[in-house]
């Protein structure tokens, strides 16, 4: 008998762009930290839809908010006031160092908004010509032309050149290199406090404090891309809190609305003043449905103290992974904060992924040899720790 996954796979090969490569697993249902495939097989989802399902799948509070909003008002334009939009902005302002919020639909759009804000703010205060943005090598900020230009990995840019002008990339955790890149054309620094796609590399606290000082000295905006590491993932509501550094701008997306598409660019009052009427917009940005889901998701992350849970549970999981490193030479390094962890292997991480999947566990990669874990922040401790045993078994049998 032909399975649903096989049918979908052959149809997808004909009708979908093949930019995601071949896929052979059809996930049809999710609940909590688990998903089920079309054959009824259950998996523990330790990738959370690529960092989206911080609350797990179909969190009842998010589902209820979506159902209620869907029956009330699905969409009106930003020509009008939208109650859930104002509510979600209020929550973000209350819990972050930012004063104002712009909503959009995805991570890359949030980064585009940050790039535009940085340039416009600099133009308003320093006149034209100050438009360079310093970003980090090995970073990832998205796939549209601005965020792709900010991304510090040539493999994502190849064949799409020319990139947008005036992005300079410096190595992570090298303050001298950053200082050397500052000239009279620079307007901002953009970085992920914990690099995600680039292989799970946290910035060092003293480095970020140094970057803040450089930004203050030269009146540059400090912009944190917290699209992957934010909203509890790193063990704090915002990764910035871990480092005790206040950025001027924060970008969010992924888990902000519990699985509904959304993006947000948060900024301090002074730079936010530069986005005056008509300077930027998004038709769906701040849509009633996504913001109602966002209010429920964000409130739940805060109320259920999920950042604290992420920190404690992530610490214990990391301990297990470090124990595996002591046992297996194939593990070069274990990196990350909270429930954002990477295991650097000496061989393709895809081999480990295949074994884990066979055993009912879904994880991801961050580069060819890094196994990436982004579990839902609500994952049961025993299930999470048991996945380290499965990895142990794989590394033992592989020798």
Ligand X SMILES: Cc1ncc(COP(=O)(O)O)c(C=O)c1O
List active site positions.
Answer: 140, 225, 254
Restricted to residues 154-213, the positions that interact with ligand X (CB under 6 A) are 192, 196-197
From 48, 54, 96, 108, residue interacting with ligand X (rule: CB under 6 A):
108
From 32, 56, 97, 142, residue interacting with ligand X (rule: CB under 6 A):
142
Give yes or no for residue 48 binding ligand X (CB under 6 A): no
Give the per-residue contact string, 251-270, with ligand X (x = CB under 6 A; - = no). Answer: --x-----------------
Residues constituting the chain: 399
Contact between 100 and 269 (Cβ < 8 Å): yes
From 59, 130, 141, 201, residue interacting with ligand X (rule: CB under 6 A):
141
Give yes or no for residue 150 binding ligand X (CB under 6 A): no
Give the DSSP H/E element, type plus range, for residue 104: strand 100-104
Give the DSSP H/E element, type plus range, for residue 167: strand 167-170
Give the per-residue contact string, 235-254, with ligand X (x = CB under 6 A; - = no). Answer: ------------------x-
Give yes or no for residue 369 binding ligand X (CB under 6 A): no
From 69, 228, 290, 387, residue interacting with ligand X (rule: CB under 6 A):
228
Give yes or no for residue 140 binding ligand X (CB under 6 A): yes
Give yes or no for residue 232 binding ligand X (CB under 6 A): no
Which residues is 133 bridged to in the sheet? 167, 188
Give yes or no for residue 227 binding ligand X (CB under 6 A): yes
Number of neighbouring beta carbons within 10 Å of residue 30: 18
Q: What are the C-alpha distances in Å from 186 to residues 192, 206, 219, 253?
A: 18, 22, 9, 26
Q: Which is nearer to ligand X, 115 or 356 (CB)?
A: 115
Give yes or no for residue 111 binding ligand X (CB under 6 A): yes
Q: Which is nearer to ligand X, 225 or 241 (CB)?
A: 225
CA distance 201 to 226: 13
Where are the alpha helices (H) located in the chain, listed in sequence order? 4-15, 48-51, 60-72, 83-95, 107-126, 145-150, 154-157, 175-181, 205-218, 239-243, 269-272, 288-303, 306-327, 349-358, 381-398
- Residue numbers of the site for ligand X (CB under 6 A)? 106-108, 111, 140-142, 192, 196-197, 225, 227-228, 253
């Amino acid at each position: 008998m032909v399975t649903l996954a096989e049918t979908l796979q052959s149809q997808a090969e004909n009708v979908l762009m093949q930019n995601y490569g071949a896929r052979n697993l059809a996930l049809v249902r999710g609940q909590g930290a688990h998903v089920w495939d079309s054959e009824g097989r259950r998996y523990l989802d330790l990738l959370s839809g690529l960092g989206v399902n911080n609350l797990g799948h179909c969190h009842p509070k998010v589902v209820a908010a979506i159902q209620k909003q869907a029956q009330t008002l699905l969409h009106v334009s930003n020509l009008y006031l939208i109650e859930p939009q104002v509510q979600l902005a209020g929550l973000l302002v209350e819990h972050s160092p930012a004063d104002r919020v712009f909503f959009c639909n995805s991570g890359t759009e949030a980064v585009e908004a940050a790039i535009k804000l940085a340039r416009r703010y600099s133009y308003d205060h320093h006149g034209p010509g100050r438009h360079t943005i310093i970003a980090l090598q090995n970073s990832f900020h998205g796939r549209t032309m601005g965020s792709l230009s900010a991304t510090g990995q040539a493999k994502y840019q190849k064949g799409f050149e020319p990139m947008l002008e005036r992005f300079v990339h410096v190595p992570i955790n090298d303050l001298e290199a950053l200082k050397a890149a500052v000239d009279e054309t620079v307007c901002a620094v953009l970085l992920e406090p914990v690099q995600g796609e680039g292989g799970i590399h946290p910035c060092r606290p003293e480095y970020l404090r140094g970057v803040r000082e450089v930004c203050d000295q030269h009146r540059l905006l400090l912009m944190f891309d917290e699209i992957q590491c934010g909203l509890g993932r790193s063990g704090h509501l915002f990764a910035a809190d871990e480092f005790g550094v206040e950025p001027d701008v924060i970008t969010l997306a992924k888990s902000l609305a519990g699985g509904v598409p959304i993006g947000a660019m948060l900024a301090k009052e002074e730079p936010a003043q530069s986005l005056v009427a008509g300077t930027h917009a998004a038709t769906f940005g701040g849509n009633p449905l996504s913001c109602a889901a966002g209010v429920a998701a964000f409130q739940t992350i805060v109320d259920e103290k999920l950042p604290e849970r992420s920190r404690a549970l992530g610490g214990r999981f990391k301990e297990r992974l470090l124990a595996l490193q002591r046992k297996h030479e194939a593990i070069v390094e274990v990196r990350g904060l909270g429930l954002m962890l990477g295991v650097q292997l000496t061989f393709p991480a895809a081999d480990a992924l295949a074994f884990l999947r066979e055993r009912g566990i879904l994880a991801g990669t961050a580069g060819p040899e890094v196994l990436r874990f982004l579990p839902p922040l609500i994952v049961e401790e025993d299930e999470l720790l048991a996945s380290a045993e499965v990895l142990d078994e794989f590394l033992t049998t592989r020798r």
